[in-house]
Chains A and B, each alone.
Chain A
Amino acid sequence: MADYVIQAESLSKHFGKFKAVDSISFEVKAGEIFGFLGANGAGKTTAMRMLTGLSYPTSGQAKVAGFDVRKHPEDIRRNIGYMSQKFSLYEDLTVRENIRFFGGIYRMSDAAIERKCRELLRGLQLESEAGQLVGSLPLGWKQKLAFSVAVFHDPKIVFLDEPTGGVDPVTRRLFWDMIYQKASGGLTVFVTTHYMDEAEYCDRVSIMVDGRIEALDSPKALKKKYSSQTMDEVFLKLARQ
C-alpha cells in the first residue's frame, strides 16, 4: 500500500450558504510533487487552510502527516513546512537570526539548529552573508532561503503557496531545481501556482472549480483526457465550462 501524506475525504468548508470547499476527496503520496490549481476564488486557499490546521472543516475528514485536521491541528502545524510568497522571512532580522528563529519555533535543540544552520548556509553558498539583513538580499536568494527555512525542521510535507510569483525566469527555474532536489530526497511538496508551465513539473495536478476538484491526474493524462497540447489549455477548458 502506498504511503499517503495527505488523505482528504469529503472535506468541506461552508461560509453561511456559500460552499467555499464542497466535499473534496484526494490523496497525496509520500515524495510526490502535487500541484494544486484553480482560478481565483475556486477555494484553494480555504482548502489549504484546512489542510494546514488553520481552519476547522464544516464536514468531512482529512489526515495530514498522519494527524487528523479536526483533532490534532497543533500536531499538523508542527509536522509540516509552509512558505508563501507574501509571508516567509523577517526582513529586519539577519539570515542567521531567521534560521535560528524558525528552528526555535519548531522546538529544535540549539545543537541541532547550529549544525543544520551551517549545512544550510553551505548548501546555499550564503556563508559570507549570514550576518546580513534578509531585507538586503536579492529576491532570488530570499526565496531560496525561505524555502530552506520552511523545510529546516525536516517536515514530511511542505506547502508552497504561489512561491514563484513575480520572480525572474531564471530564478524561477532555479527554485524548481531546489524543489525537485528535495522531493527526490523523499519530501512531499504541495504547491499552488498561476504559471501553467510549472503545472507540468508536478507529478500530479488537481484543478479546483467552484469548490470542487474537477480533475486530478498527471499532467500527461490530463492533457490526453482534455485533448489539449498544454496544461494552460486544460485549465481554460475546465475553468470556463
Chain B
Amino acid sequence: MGKINVKAEGLEKNYGKVQAVRSVSFEVEEGELFGLIGPDGAGKTSIFRMLASLILPDSGTVRVAGFDPVKQYQDVRRRIGYMPGRFSLYQDLSVEENVQFFASVFGTSLSENYELVADIYRQIEPFRDRKAGALSGGMKQKLALCCALIHKPEVLLLDEPTTGVDPVSRKEFWQMLKRLKTKGISVVVSTPYMDEAGLCDRIALIQKGKILRIDAPERISESFPFGLWLLRAREMFALLTSLRKYPHAQSAYSFGEDIHFVFQKGKENPEALKEYLQGLAFKDLEIREGKPTIEDCFMAMDS
C-alpha cells in the first residue's frame, strides 16, 4: 500500500440545522484518483473546503499531505492545489497573466515546473493573450487546472471541474487527470456525472452528507444486488409507464435508449414480463439482461 496523502476521519459539518457532512471517513493514497460522486447538496464542496483548510470541521480529524488543516493550515496550503467549483481565476487577466500570478504567489515560475503542466499548458497556449473571462467553459477549466498545478502540489483537490462542460472537453480533462496521477499526485475529484465515476481508481458515493459506499467502481457495479433487465420498444414513454404499473416491478428508469428494470425480490420472471407487455401490443419490443452501471447502483442505494 502506498503512502496515505489524505485521511479524513469522522468528519462532521453543520450549517445551523442542516447536517451538510455526516461522519465522513476516507483515505487517498499517493498517485490515486479518488472520486466523490454525488448530486448537488450531497456535501462534496464542504468536504473539499475542510480538506483545503478553508472551513473548520465541527468534529472529526483530517490530515492532508501529512499536516492538519486546522492547526497547520499554512503547511497544507503550500502542498495542495485547489480548484473550487466556481471559476475563480482573474477574469480580466489574460491566460498568461493568470498563470504567472499563481506561480509568483507560490514563489515559483512556469518554467520551473513546466514538465508537470506542459501537456495542459500547450492546449491553452494558443489563447495566452486572451482574457480568462472570454474563454469557453472547457478552456477555463484547463487554465484553472494549470494554475492549481503550477507549484507542484502533492494533493490536487478538484471540486466539480467538469460540471457544465461539454462531453468532449470532459473526456480531455479526465485524460489529463490520468496522466497526473502517474506523477504521484493524489487527486480528489468530485462530479455529478455518474459516467465519470468509472474513470477513478476508487470512488465514494455520497448522498445527503453521508457516504453510501467506498470502493473501486467496477466492484461497486459488480455488487448490484438485483438482476438488471434492459427494455426498449417504439413507444418508450408508454413502455416506462406500463413497466411501473407491473405488479412485480421494483424500479423502472430511463437510461438513454433503454429502460432499466428491476424485479421485486424473488419475483424475477422475464418471460411473464414479456407476455404482459406483448398483451399491451408494444411494437419492436426487446428484453435482454444487462450490466448495471454506477448510476444504477447509486439509485438503488439512494432509494
A residues adjacent to B (C-beta < 8 A): 38-42, 138-139, 162, 165-171, 173, 176-177, 180, 184, 194-197, 200-201, 219-220, 230-232, 235-236, 239-240
Per the CB 8 Å criterion, the residue count for chain B at the interface is 36
How far is it, in angstroms, between the C-alpha of A47 and the C-alpha of B42 when the chains are bound? 34
Q: Does B41 contact A (CB under 8 A)?
A: yes
Provided the pairs A139-B41, A200-B256, A230-B256 are in contact, do residues A41 and B167 lie with their beta carbons within 8 angstroms? no
- How long is the Cα–Cα vector from A237 to B168 in the complex, in angstroms? 9
Docked pose: A201 CA to B40 CA in angstroms: 23
A40 to B169, CA, bound (A): 8
B residues apposed to A, CB below 8 Å: 38-42, 136-139, 160, 163-171, 192-194, 207, 236-237, 240, 253-257, 295, 298-299, 302-303
Assuming the contacts A139-B41, A197-B255, A197-B256, asked whether A166 and B137 have C-beta atoms less than 8 A apart, the reply is: no
Report A-chain residues with C-beta under 8 Å of the C-beta of B237: 177, 180, 184
Contacting residues, chain B, for A219 (C-beta < 8 A): 257
Interchain pairs with CB closer than 8 A, number: 91
Q: A167-B39, A168-B39, A231-B256 are in contact. Are A40 and B299 (CB under 8 A)?
A: no
Beta-carbon contact of A171 and B136 below 8 Å: no
Q: How far is the CB of B210 from chain A (nearest CB, A)?
A: 13
- Chain B CB within 10 Å — which of A38, A168, A180, A220 has the most? A168
Q: Is the CB of A201 within 8 A of B137?
A: no
Interface of A is mostly: helix
Contact B40 A167 (CB under 8 A): yes
Task: Known A-B contacts: A40-B166, A168-B192, A170-B302. Give 6 more (CB < 8 A).
Answer: A168-B302, A169-B39, A170-B253, A173-B254, A176-B254, A194-B164
Whether A39 lies near B168 (C-beta < 8 A) is yes
Contacts of A41 in B (CB 8 A): 136-139
27 residue pairs bridging A and B, Cβ less than 8 Å apart: A38-B166, A39-B136, A39-B167, A39-B169, A40-B169, A41-B138, A139-B40, A162-B164, A166-B160, A166-B163, A169-B295, A169-B299, A170-B253, A170-B299, A170-B303, A171-B39, A173-B253, A173-B254, A176-B254, A177-B237, A194-B167, A196-B256, A197-B254, A201-B254, A219-B257, A220-B257, A240-B168
